[in-house]
């Protein structure tokens, strides 16, 4: 089945550690996105990539990094510079019609 796979679903991190969240899609979509959701807030854009080997910062990119070496993969690294990393992270890809398809999400908790 086509879709977006995020892993891990749950992740615990100690302060000062970097962690990487995986996002893989087999929908053949060019554009991919990372969002963060906090309680009572909408989805906020961290980074997005319109094409392989290219990505742009979103509204809250500080403390995060991404890579887009393959069309199917758009991993997000939460670095120790991110001051408040505990959140629900959502990866999405966009089809040519403009619709976003989301993964199941990854919940990161900093201990």
Residues forming contacts to another protein in the complex (CB under 8 A) are: 4, 6, 33, 35, 40-45, 48, 58, 88, 90, 92, 98-105, 107
Q: Residue 95 CB, nearest distance to another protein (Å)?
A: 10
- Pick between residue 27 and residue 80 the one whose CB is nearest to another protein: 27
Q: 62 is written with which tokens?
A: 């500080």
Q: Residue 105 CB, nearest distance to another protein (Å)?
A: 5
- Pick between residue 16 and residue 98 the one whose CB is nearest to another protein: 98
- Pick between residue 63 and residue 101 the one whose CB is nearest to another protein: 101
Give the 3-state DSSP-derived string for 47-73, with helices as H, strands as E and coil as C. Answer: EEEEECCEEEECCCCCCEEECCCECCE
Q: 67 is written with which tokens?
A: 């890579």
Torsional sign, CA 28, 33, 36, 42: negative
């Amino acid at each position: 089945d086509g879709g977006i796979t995020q892993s891990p679903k749950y992740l615990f991190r100690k302060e000062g550690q970097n962690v990487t969240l995986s996002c893989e899609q087999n929908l053949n979509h060019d554009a991919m996105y990372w969002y963060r959701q906090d309680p009572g807030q909408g989805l906020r854009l961290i980074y997005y990539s319109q094409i392989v080997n290219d990505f742009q910062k979103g509204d809250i990119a500080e403390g995060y990094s991404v890579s887009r070496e393959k069309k199917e993969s758009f991993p997000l690294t939460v670095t120790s510079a991110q001051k408040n990393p505990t959140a629900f992270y959502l990866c999405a890809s966009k089809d040519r019609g403009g619709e976003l398809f989301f993964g199941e999400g990854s919940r990161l908790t900093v201990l």
